[in-house]
Structure 1
Amino acid sequence: MIVRLTYITFLPENVDQAKRVYRDQVVPVVKVQKGNLDCRLLEPMDNSNEYISMTTWETKDDADAYHTSGTYKELVDKVRKDFAKNPTLRVYTTESILEHA
């Protein structure tokens, strides 16, 4: 499984709008992409404006296809005006320790 984390800092005055766009426009599009397992916005508990967009994918190929299809950029552009700074994307693979026990 592949996990893509996009670290986002929103402008304080735009947080509610950005969350609404994410929920109503981003999540539905991501969830129908081939290989997508989950899409959610992680909200900070410390009242900061630092959020994480998390998507999980069956395979690296699925995650790469989503990223290179242009869909990722289109969705980021929907909330770009709400950013306090450019987002940072990090990609991880998951591996269960129990699988190797």
Structure 2
Amino acid sequence: MIVRLTFLSFLPQNIVQAKKVFEEEIVPVVRKQRGNIDCRLLEPIEKTDDYISMTTWETKADADAYNSSGIYRQLVEKVKKDFAKDPVLKVYTTESILAHA
């Protein structure tokens, strides 16, 4: 399983709108992508921390196909005006954890 985490810092005055776009426009598109298991926006308890867009994928190939399809970039563009700084994408796997379980 692959987990893609995009760390997002929103302008304070744009948070409500960005969360609405995420839930109404981004989540439905991502969940329709081949191999997607989950998509959600994690809201920080500490308001100075970043929001995190978390997507979970069945395989690395599915996550890579999503990234290279251009859909990821199109979705980021929907909330780009709301960013306080550029988002940071990090990708993780659970394969090593499962192999040792």
Q: Deviation per CA, 1:53-85: give whole Å up to 9, x if none.
A: 000000000000000001000000000000000
Aligned positions, number:
101
The residue type equivalent to 2:44 in the other structure is P
> How do 1:1-101 and structure 2 match up within 5 A?
1-48=1-48, 50-95=50-95, 97=97, 99-101=99-101
Measured in 1, the distance between the counterparts of 2:91 and 2:98 equals 22
The residue type equivalent to 1:41 in the other structure is L
The residue type equivalent to 1:30 in the other structure is V
Measured in 2, the distance between the counterparts of 1:97 and 1:36 equals 20
Consecutive unaligned residues of structure 1, counting only runs of 5 or more, are none
Measured in 1, the distance between the counterparts of 2:52 and 2:79 equals 13
Deviation at 1:99, TM superposition (A): 4.5
Measured in 2, the distance between the counterparts of 1:49 and 1:83 equals 13
Q: Using structure 2 for the length normalisation, give the TM-score.
A: 0.94
**Pair 38,83 (structure 1): closer, same or farther in 2 beyond 3 Å:** same
Measured in 2, the distance between the counterparts of 1:49 and 1:80 equals 18
Deviation at 1:95, TM superposition (A): 3.2
Q: Deviation per CA, 1:10-55: give whole Å up to 9, x if none.
A: 0000000000000000000000000000000000001226100000
SS in 1 for 2:52: strand
Q: Kindly indicate whether the alpha-carbon contact (under 8 Å) linking 1:7 and 1:50 is maintained by their aligned counterparts in 2.
A: yes
